[in-house]
Amino acid sequence: MQLAVLLLAIEDYLLPCMSKQLLGMDCPGCGLQRAVVFLFQGEFLAAFKMYPAIYSILLLFGFLSLDFLFKIKYANKIIIFLMISSVGLILINFILKFF
């Protein structure tokens, strides 16, 4: 019950995008907070539509946590791949917002 109340209240405390307020255009991180809220609400497709890189970022942080706990043999290559895919998705999403 308390988790549901917290999830409903968290939408009132999202940080505003200064780039959007000052320049009138989205930044590469616009939508990340709302995508996380959608994930907490169980709306996985809406989270992806809001910020497509959300899942690659979650994979990256999850893998970094696993690598911290258990040293994985080829962790550097996997981390670099996940970082490049996350940055690539962020940039593609940012560019597509202009069209």
> What's the whole-model pTM score?
0.81
- Percent of the chain surpassing pLDDT 90: 62
Question: What are the extents of the domains in the chain?
Answer: 2-96
For helices 2-10 and 32-41, angle between their N-to-C axes, nearest 10 degrees: 160
Q: Is the model more confident about 75 or about 14?
A: 75
What pLDDT is stored for residue 35 in this prediction?
93
Q: Is the model more confident about 58 or about 16?
A: 58
- Percent of the chain surpassing pLDDT 70: 92
> What are the Cα distances from residue 25, in Å, to 6, 22, 59, 94?
30, 8, 28, 10
Mean pLDDT of 11-29: 85
